[in-house]
Structure 1
């Protein structure tokens, strides 16, 4: 459960940081959006180091599924665009992969 909480916080930090750049470049927001955006991206990188694993690549691979699901949640909550059934189905497939990577016997 701790791992999932860290992955969820990591996804929020990464998406918020990337969205700051999106807002600046695509939505004509102030360049000052980059200050909290870069802080969020630094937080994202640090949070990934808190995951217990034998290798960074496995952490990143498992995180990918969480990122995809969290991105669709961001789409819905922050941008007001509801994901369709293809989005949700794809995210579910990715989350199954995440669970396999995290919980697989080693």
Structure 2
């Protein structure tokens, strides 16, 4: 159950961070205005809180692992929202990042690891 909770928190964090950054991008680069930018900033703030609910107590581990989720999630966001078509190298890179997430977060640990 702890791994499922952790994975769901990573997904929620990715939606908040990637969505927030996308909203800021739309507000600035696509000239959609301050409401888009403000919504993006708020979503980025939510992202900061979501990470604190991870069951692991180590900030560095959480953020390091989340980096891999962010990479894969960003490509997924691009596919779903911007109709981006990743090539095989994008997909291989994202898979490597997700493997890193699994190793960092869910490998069995002994002692103080």
Structure 2 residue 100 is matched with structure 1 residue 97: yes
In 1, Cα distance between equivalents of 2:106 and 2:40: 32
Aligned to 2:38: 35
1:15: how far off?
0.6
Is the Cα contact below 8 Å between 2:72 and 2:94 reproduced in 1? yes
Normalising by structure 2, we get a TM-score of 0.89
For residues 8-64 of structure 1, the C-alpha deviation after alignment (integer angstroms, 9 at most, x for no partner) is 010000011111111122111112102211121111000000001131010001111
Specify the SS of the correspondent of 2:47.
helix
Task: Give the alignment's TM-score, normalised by structure 1.
Answer: 0.95
* Count of matched residue positions in the alignment of Structure 1 and Structure 2: 106
Query: Which residue is equivalent to 1:8?
Result: 11
Give the 4+ runs in structure 1 shifted more than 3 A.
none
Unpaired segments ≥5 residues, structure 1 = none
Q: Deviation per CA, 1:60-99: give whole Å up to 9, x if none.
A: 0111111111100011011011111111100000000000
Looking at structure 2, the residues matched to 18 and 90 of structure 1 have their Cα atoms a distance apart, in angstroms, of 21
